[in-house]
Amino acid sequence: MHKEAYVKSYDGLELYSVKDVPEKAKGIVVVVHGFAEHLGRYEYLTKRLNDQGYGVYRFDNRGHGKTKGERGHIKKFEDFLYDADTIVEMAKEENNSLPIYMLGHSMGGFITASYGVKYRDKLKGQIFSGAATATSSQVKGIKGHMFKALNKIAPKIRIKNPISKTLCKNQDVVEDYLKDELNLKEATLNFYVEFLVKGVKWLNSHIDQYDYPCLILHGGDDKIVPKEASENFYSRIQSKDKKIILYEGLYHEIMNEKTRDQVMDDICIWLDANDKKAN
């Protein structure tokens, strides 16, 4: 089943969503995309999960893609968590007896981890890809304070999307990303402050409350979110059932590299193993 729909979040904002659920699905994976991209970049992941018997619910984050509202802007980072919960609740209601998982890439990994802290009993587990769970070097220390101060004066100043050609070693993917009109070319200062300063700080101050079963994946040569972010997350969370895999030589978008099928296999193996533990 493939279905596209707009779903109202807690404040009435309409989130663009797509669901692909095979017959006799054995679980549902809610996919949370990264900064400046959209759900359409996860077609291959969806196909692989569907082939393995998992339904996939995707949505465009607030400020992104085809979701309604102002592009490249958010008021507060918590809205990302409320939006994700809107999709999780929909998935639970429509698939009453199935386990629900969440998979987040990059900023979507930050959202996924923060969701895991805030909503501790709604999911069967979480998967992370290049998750932005640590303070970025661009906003550390005095820079972060400067951003926050300027944000009080001019929160809607637009800043160019800093994502570079080191997104992925597969240059076809990079070229497609740069040409894709649904990807953000800029975002407001408030967006960056809420996500990279306030949001990541909140996550790290509550990280010891995280205890979901989880699979943490990261490119060993990631130039955008260093692998140390995932290593730190792995070491600090309380989860007893946790696994980390670092892919030597891969950049940020491990699910778009030419060796992506190894990553997909690792995801599917973990999901199946986790299902067996739950039964």
- What is the model's pLDDT at position 187? 92
For residue 92, list its beta bridge partners: none
* CATH no., domain 2-278: 3.40.50.1820
Spans of all domains in the chain: 2-278
Give the pLDDT score at 136.
60
CB atoms within 10 A of CB 51: 11
Positions in the chain short of pLDDT 70: 135-156, 278-279
Model pLDDT, residue 77: 98
What does pTM read for this prediction?
Answer: 0.94
Place of tokens 């993917």: 173
Q: Which long-range contacts (CB under 8 A, 24 or more apart) does 238-242 make?
A: 238/208, 238/209, 238/210, 238/211, 239/210, 239/211, 239/212, 239/213, 239/214, 240/211, 241/125, 241/213, 241/214, 241/274, 241/277, 242/213, 242/214, 242/215, 242/216
pLDDT at 144: 46
Compute the distance between CA of residue 218 and CA of residue 37 in angstroms, rounded to an integer: 18
Cα(115)–Cα(131) distance, rounded to whole angstroms? 13
pLDDT at residue 173, rounded to an integer? 95
Q: What is the pLDDT of residue 152?
A: 59
